[in-house]
A and B are shown apart, each in its own frame.
Chain A
Amino acid sequence: MSGFLECRGLIRRFGGVVALDALDFEVRPGEILSLIGPNGAGKTTAFNVITGIFLPTGGDVQFAKRSIVGLKSDAITRLGIARTFQNIRIFGAMTVLENVMVGRHGKLRAGPVGAILRTPGVMNEERAAAEFSMELMRFSGIDLNAGARADSLSYGDQRRLEITRALASEPQIILLDEPAAGMNPREKNDLNDLIFAIRESGVTVLLIEHDMKVVMGISDRVIVIDHGVKIAEGTPAEVCQDAKVLEAYLGASHA
């Protein structure tokens, strides 16, 4: 099986700091792949380069056999790569439903003229989008708060909303940046179920996570990066035994 999202020799420097140093990895269709590594290893940078927020200094990102380097974030999202953020970035002053419908933006066509005239086509599109978004919110369990301001949600629900919003673009692959951060054990359990359900619905999941329980519980494969390079790859059990991984996490003496 060849990966349908591939990073080849990805380099990203910030001045003298090398965040990504020829990073190679591939995501296979239908899997849950975790990206782990110590703080500052370059995980979030990798996400930012893939989704077009940063340009890579070198290397290539391919999605479905096509290079996506140089495309803007909105074009990449419309191709089928959606993401969430490490520090929650919901649209706080908008309602929960509006947030999800903004996620649907790329799938809708109505322009300003249609919005002013409210043609039947535009109204049908809006109705369908609202229904689709409600369905998605039921799927992730935040539908009861549809009309509430997004920033009034609990922390866990805000994380869920971010995932729901990303799913609204009907992506082929979703990039989750530390979805379990700051969650209590029950919320983490629910999150695991949600991530499994997302995979079940046919969306590939690429995940950055610090919580080892979450990582070990849900990942098909794990990739460990440190200082911008891949140091290990394999099933969760394999990675746990890897000498280099133990060294990166615990220091040389424990290896």
Chain B
Amino acid sequence: MLLAGFWFAFLALPISGPWNAVLIGGACSFMLLAIKLFQTAMTTGPAGEMVARLWCALGRMWGQAAWLVGDRKKILVMILLLLSLPWVLDRYTTDVLVVTGIYVMLALGLNVVVGFAGLLDLGYVAFYAVGAYTYALLNSWMDLSFWPALLAGGALSMAFGVLLGIPVLRLRGDYLAIVTLGFGEIIRLVLNNWDNLTNGPNGILSIDRPTIGGMRLYQPMHFFYLVVFLCFMTMFVVGRLNRSRLGRAWSALREDETAAECMGINITYTKLTAFAFGAAWAGIGGVVFAAKQTFVSPESFTFFESVIILCMVVLGGMGSIPGVILGALVLTVLPEALRELTLYRPMLLGGAMVLMMILRPQGFLQMHGQRLPASAVLPGDVRRGREKTHLGGDT
């Protein structure tokens, strides 16, 4: 700790002069010490008990939330409530919800790669950019309308996913993270510098809005319904993929690649499908983003976006679909709620992440449940076993 303090003091020396450097070093040491003390206090003793109790209470609350979607009737009511939101909320809030919806799709997509298959991807925003530019370019050249572009954006992102997947097949962990990070930056730099194609940093203007049967979608409310529909589709597809033979293969790959290969799993195919099915949602999200903004530029697809999406997945709970949705909600709604404190927002977010990783590294919700198409597939005794061992919600 002291060492870290000295180091920071040394780093700050040329910028701030000797006295301030000592101050900064001292502050760093103190903060590290405080974090350490805080961590011990929060995991042991009465404070630890309180934290544990808090999580229990939150778990119970989540259990009750799960009750809200317990059967078909309740699910229907919840969906109707969700769909009535834009009638109750103002335009601004609805717009925030649209952005949230796009992030939910992105986070669910990244969750396939990171959460299910365990492949750390730090350049995920590249696929988002591919989707957005697919629509922007095809629309400005060929007047391609929104709906075919949605398919094209998804398909092209999938292709890019495979393209990224092939060179990184042999890489794991840190190495994989670095290559994907590079990939994300390459895509952004190409968009930024290929002036003839992408109009460089100026971006592409006046992209068409989507239409349904002659009606133009331009209100936040319209986009809200579009995004809600796409989110449900993402949840549906990603959930079904997870609870299938392929989902089990992804999970096995995440747990132990060699053992998975010795179980007859084709590693190449399994990794490439994970990249492809992860990237597709970013592409579709990108098309929606371009249509909503009517403007795209490389600025929207920075490394920071990748980091935020990854934070949503990690904060929510890797591999858990409800968890990841919750993570995306928290990380888009919270910054909006903190708009008053503009300057302190990144600091508060960073602090929240640090606290979260210290106190609950597994994220809000943990994944569990059998990766099978439906509980109906299981013989009775297994279902009982599952109830006994897995309390709370479902993956």
Contacts and interface: CB of A to CB of B under 8 A. Distances in A.
B359 interface: no
B382 A147 contact: yes
A150 B248 CA distance: 14
B209 interface: no
Interface residues of A, number: 50
A108 B261 contact: no
A83 interface: yes
Q: Which 10 A-B pairs have the closest CB atoms?
A: A106-B264, A115-B244, A147-B385, A147-B386, A91-B255, A77-B264, A89-B259, A73-B261, A146-B382, A102-B252
B262 A53 contact: yes
B385 A148 contact: yes
B390 interface: yes
Contacts of B68: none
Given A74-B262, A77-B262, A122-B373, 12 more contacts: A51-B262, A94-B251, A95-B370, A98-B248, A102-B263, A105-B245, A106-B264, A110-B246, A123-B373, A130-B378, A147-B385, A149-B389
Contact of B373 (A94, A126, A149): A126
Q: Give the dominant DSSP class at B's interface.
A: helix
A82 B265 CA distance: 12
Contacts of B245: 105, 108, 110, 115, 126
B277 A112 contact: yes
B93 to A, nearest CB: 33
Interface of A: 51, 53, 72-74, 77-78, 82-83, 85, 89-95, 97-98, 101-103, 105-108, 110-112, 114-116, 118, 122-123, 126-127, 130-131, 134, 143-149, 152, 165, 169
25 contacts: A73-B262, A74-B267, A93-B367, A94-B255, A95-B370, A97-B372, A102-B265, A105-B264, A107-B264, A112-B241, A112-B246, A112-B277, A115-B244, A115-B247, A116-B240, A118-B240, A123-B377, A126-B245, A126-B377, A130-B378, A130-B379, A131-B379, A144-B381, A147-B386, A149-B389
A98 B249 CA distance: 10
Nearest to B388: A147
Interface of B: 237, 240-241, 243-249, 251-252, 254-256, 258-267, 273, 277, 367-368, 370-374, 377-379, 381-390
A102 B261 contact: no
A90 B382 CA distance: 19
Given A112-B246, A116-B241, A130-B378, A94 B263 contact: no
Nearest to A138: B381
A79 to B, nearest CB: 9
A96 to B, nearest CB: 9
Contacts of B262: 51, 53, 73-74, 77, 82-83
B302 to A, nearest CB: 31
A113 to B, nearest CB: 10
Contacts of A103: 263-264
Contact of A105 (B248, B372, B373, B374): B248
Given A130-B379, A134-B379, A77 B263 contact: yes
